[in-house]
Chain A
Amino acid sequence: MIESFIELFFARYNYWMAIILMLIGLYALIAKQNLVKKIIGLNIFQTAIFLFYISFAEVKGGTAPIYLPQGIDALYVNPLPHVLILTAIVVGVSVTAVALSLIVRIYEEYGVIDEDELMQAVRRR
């Protein structure tokens, strides 16, 4: 039973790692009080998705998707997910930038970046 679990884990360990990272990120997003740590959690969550995309693009023994001497017979890694993730990384950077600037504004207004204290400060106004 346990052996088969271990086998299952190592046969697809890249997906398991993506899932574990994703859950770490989601946990930080939900449970952390500090707003900046929440955004770090968001970044971990997004990175896990990126890794998921990159790992399913992998072809065992495949080379970079460039034109090689053996021509069309060469074994390529699927380049499309890489391109998609390039877009998603840009999106992730922009979201992080907006989030951090919002945190700066919240800190300027309320003087706190802790969620509970922030809620109290909001209620006091």
Chain B
Amino acid sequence: MTVINHLPVLLIAIPILASLLIFAAGWYDRRFAYPITLITVLFQFTASVILLLQVMQEGTIRYHLGGWAPPLGIELVIDSFNGFILAAIMLLAAATVVYARRSVEKEIEQEKIVSFYVLFQLLVTGLVGMTITGDIFNLYVFLEISSIAAYTLISASRKPHSYVASFNYLVLGSISAGFILLGIGNLYVATGTLNMAELAAILPASYGLATVHSAFLFLMIGFSIKIAFFPLHLWLPDAYTESPSAVTILISTVMAKVSVYALFRILFSVFTTAYIIDSFPVTGFILLMATVAIVAGAVLAIAQDDLKRMLAYSSISQIGYIMFALGVANQIALEGGLLHILGHAVMKGCLFMVAGMIIYRMGTSKLSELKGVAKTMPISCAAFALAGASMIGIPPTIGFMSKYYLVLGAFEAGLWPYAVVLLIGSLLAAVYIWKFIEIAYFGDHHDNHHTSVREGPLSMLAPMVCLAVLCLIFGVFVEVLMEAVGPAVILLLGGV
């Protein structure tokens, strides 16, 4: 099959063409914009699942762009690690695009809808490109495509504060991109190549060089800003809170996870475990910062009085869990970390969808105004409770499984004080999730002004319920996921 052979490049080329088509068709008639986006994203989702199955059966796929072999040309690589990430992010992107239609109609001005979908498509495409590229400079280019689309999308909501949030993100995001560019430059100076596989082969000879150390630090700091790792998270709460609901879902799940993926890729596939443990011991520091992030993010989340802002701070805490896996860096902990990348994307996507639904119906996400909301929106609140249980880590949800693996990994590495911090993080998560549950289910509303509020439309309910149920299904059938996650971790740790 020739089309299947070219699937990796079609995964990027078709959506880029589609984004132009959305623009042209939307110019003609605004109603065409959404269906084209939907079809393209569903195509990407299907293609990513096909690629994942192909990778699991036949091993790594390498696609040379334009037929040029790697040292000269750019290479797209899909192995068990990014095949898994690709399928996970496209699942979330597909759910988001189904959810987006009604939510966008409500939150975005009519004349902006076409450009909104153009940028939406570009954001998804940029992130897919970041995931499947095998060339480190290409990674930077896709990172910038997705970032610029994200800056613009955040400012698309009607709230004036979103401009400020977007500007702050732009400044920090550009600094981080600059650092990443510098790191890539240093790597090129040290090795003379930009291909990731070749970098990994050449770099060990120069592990002692100051150039390589500075490249590592630049890349590490750059990506830490992008993923909002604790002390560098300042852009995140505003950006998540002020952007339109659909954009919040997309950047909190897909974009955050792809940035984490890129960091893992750089740390484990370009630099290897030998470098980050022996030549430049950084894992201990990452572990320490991750525990600080887990606790600080959760404590800040408890202190918030706005549902979306609370979930945003919770994201900072959950990023800490994923970085914790990186800090421990053994087989079991990394399995937990990869599971948590998927799990957190699913549950946080669901929680933000509930928040978006509440905004859609009630026009606010202030916790004090949501008393008794469960009486009028029972399905949304049930979905919140289920995804929230997963966030806390109650068995048999996916959140429990990933944290279980993390704790096991920490024990295996003899880091039991850190394992205690994971449990404290879960307890704190219980506090902030419970805060909403209590208000929604047990808060009595004296005023009857929202008795007329109903559940949202089906196109918003369906993806939300699907994700909530997936939290449960992934947790129960975790062995199926481990078939994809296990080889990915072996690959990360330097096996075949």
Contacts and interface: CB of A to CB of B under 8 A. Distances in A.
B161 A53 contact: no
Contact of A99 (B160, B170, B182, B188): B170
Which of the listed residues A38, A81, A95, A109 has the most CB atoms from chain B within 10 Å of its own CB? A95
A98 B170 contact: yes
Given A56-B185, A105-B155, A105-B163, A98 B148 contact: yes
Which of the listed residues B148, B185, B194 has the most CB atoms from chain A within 10 Å of its own CB? B185
Contact of A95 (B137, B166, B174): B174
A118 B164 contact: yes
A91 B147 CA distance: 10
Contacts of A125: 160-161
Given A98-B151, A102-B155, A46 B160 contact: no
B182 A49 contact: yes
Main DSSP-derived SS at the B contact region: helix
Contacts of A110: 160
A87 interface: yes
Contact of B141 (A56, A87, A109): A87
B175 A99 contact: no
A102 B151 CA distance: 9
Contacts of A42: 171, 174-175
Contact of B167 (A26, A35, A46): A35
A109 B163 contact: yes
A98 B148 CA distance: 8
B161 A122 contact: yes
Contact of B171 (A38, A49, A91): A38
A49 B170 contact: no
Contacts of B428: none
Which of the listed residues A103, A109, A118 has the most CB atoms from chain B within 10 Å of its own CB? A109
Given A29-B171, A49-B178, A94-B148, A84 B137 contact: yes
A49 B185 contact: yes
A88 interface: yes
Interface residues of A, number: 30
Contacts of B160: 109-110, 125
B453 interface: no
A106 B167 contact: yes
Contacts of B4: none
Interface string A86-102: 01100100110011001
A29 B194 CA distance: 29
A102 B137 contact: no
Interface string B109-143: 00000000000000000000000000001001100
Interface in B154-212: 155, 160-161, 163-164, 166-167, 170-171, 174-175, 177-178, 181-182, 185, 188-189, 194
B152 interface: yes
A96 to B, nearest CB: 9
Contacts of B182: 49, 52
B167 A99 contact: yes
Contacts of A106: 163-164, 167
Contacts of A84: 137
A102 B170 contact: yes
A106 B168 CA distance: 12
Which of the listed residues B144, B171, B174, B175 has the most CB atoms from chain A within 10 Å of its own CB? B174
A6 to B, nearest CB: 21
8 contacts: A29-B171, A42-B171, A45-B174, A45-B175, A46-B174, A53-B185, A95-B144, A102-B170
Interface of B: 137, 140-141, 144, 148, 151-152, 155, 160-161, 163-164, 166-167, 170-171, 174-175, 177-178, 181-182, 185, 188-189, 194
Closest 5 CB pairs of A and B: A109-B160, A91-B144, A105-B163, A102-B167, A106-B163
